Chain A
Amino acid sequence: MCLFSFLVVIIFSFAFGTDLQVYNGMVPGILWVAFIFSGLLGLNRSFGTERDKGTLSGLLLCPVAPWEIFLAKMIGTLIFTTIMEIFTFLVFIILYNQNVLPFLVPLSLVIFLGTLGFSIVGTIFSAMSSATKARDVILSILVFPISVPVIIASVKATGLILEGRSIQTVYAWLKILVAFDMVFLLLAYLTFSHIMEE
């Protein structure tokens, strides 16, 4: 996962070369493409092996609600994705010569909210796609259109913060991220038992 996201960051710097020093606006986009693509790679394995080896049936036999299994899986995905993002971010700072120290707190907030939204949607769909024949393909087809609001809001908010704007300008995007996270947590709570139904 980490290696893949390093490669994404590096390939982008090859693809755009020195243009990136001129058009700084592309930089947040590259960061989030690396996050989302590598995150998807991790999601593919979130439910896959468990379904193959029968662990999932064991989990369902445990005296816990499907919703609790969802929360546990989602938090697991969130932690692993966050670790990957921290390493990617370090590589990103070095390669793209970004000065992030003054904006570390708002930036972490945006990255956390964006990653949370992506993990919620991703976990729901990973549970679905692991039960199908075409796992990897179907997961990306399901996740990308649904996570459009997260991607737009995260990229825009990251861009504004890196430009050194105040937290007020980012406020509208943060609201979208929070709304997305809450709506999809609620939806997962309401529907996850139906996905786990055998």
Chain B
Amino acid sequence: MTPKRITKIIFELFTFVMMLLALYAIFFYAPVEKTMGLVQKIFYIHVPAAFIAFLAFFITFAASILYLVKKDNQWDLIALCSAEIGIIFCTIVLVTGPIWAKPVWNVWWTWDPRLTTTLILWFIYVAYLMLRGVVGENKKANFSAVFGIIGFVNVPLTFFAIRLWRTIHPVMITSRGINISGPMKDTLALTFSAFCLLFIFLLLTRMRLEKMKRATETVIAMFEERHHF
């Protein structure tokens, strides 16, 4: 076994243990919230997932810019893989949100800036993947990089447009610090780190897969070319 492989296995094991610890902390360590009850625990999944989704989309945005500047397919690969993982976490946010909102706000959904922006984000990145699906190979990387940039730049505009309406989303993390108590804060910190590790793990795995896919495609193309002669 090469040292690189050993590091990889250790990293994977560490991510796994951290995820288990995060689950333990959510259900056994963190206290039950007084007014909201058990449903508040979804917060420990919801908030880190939202953070990871935004992080992933930001990586797509940055990688898209780098691709247009450098024209290196490596950046296109990172942008694609990060967008896919971002959609998964964005979906988790959009599913856990209403589950929490129904007992607390008494509605599944409201047109609050954060909720709406997240929903629009989801639509934008699903469109990103669909665009990749219908564009020919020679234009795929360019088009999706342009869309990756436009999609992300659009987010603050959408947010401000919707913020001119009323907002009811609880503000947990303000400029003055986090609005929750000790054990809850520890649990949140733990789930945050676990989700970050999970994200890195997923991104690396997905990138390895995509690299293999592209290498296989190149080999097949070379093989077909030879058979024509």
Interface residues, chain A, with chain B CB atoms under 8 Å away: 121, 124, 128, 131-134, 138, 141-142, 144-146, 148-149, 152-153, 156, 172-173, 176, 179-180, 183-184, 187, 191, 194-195, 197-198
Q: What is the distance, in angstroms, from B189's C-beta to the closest C-beta of chain A? A: 33
Q: Is B205 among interface residues, defined by CB-CB distance under 8 A?
A: no
Instruction: Tell me whether B105 is interfacial, beta carbon within 8 Å.
Output: no
A121, A128, A156, A183: residue with the most chain B Cβ atoms closer than 10 Å = A128
Determine the interface band of chain B, counting residues with CB < 8 A from chain A.
20 to 34
Partner of B147 from the list A142, A149, A152, A179 (CB cut-off 8 Å) is A142
CA–CA, A197 and B145, complex, Å: 13
Neighbouring A residues of B143 by C-beta, 8 Å: 128, 131, 195
Asked if B131 CB lies within 8 Å of chain A CBs, one says yes
Q: Which of B130, B136, B142, B158 touches A195 (beta carbons < 8 Å)?
A: B142
Do most interface residues of chain B lie in helix, strand or loop, or is the interface mixed? Answer: helix
Cβ contact of B157, chosen from A142, A183, A195, cutoff 8 A:
A183
Q: Complex: how many Å from CA A198 to CA B123?
A: 28
What residue in chain B is nearest A196 (Cβ atoms)? Answer: B142
Residues of chain A with a CB closer than 8 A to B147's CB: 128, 142
6 of the cross-chain contacts (CB-CB < 8 Å) are A128-B131, A128-B143, A142-B131, A146-B150, A176-B160, A191-B149
Cross-chain contact B127 with A131 (CB below 8 angstroms): no
- With A156-B164, A195-B146: A148-B158 Cβ-Cβ less than 8 Å: yes
Q: Known pairs A152-B162, A183-B157, A194-B142. 11 more at Cβ < 8 A?
A: A124-B146, A128-B131, A132-B134, A132-B136, A142-B127, A145-B123, A145-B127, A148-B120, A149-B161, A187-B150, A191-B150
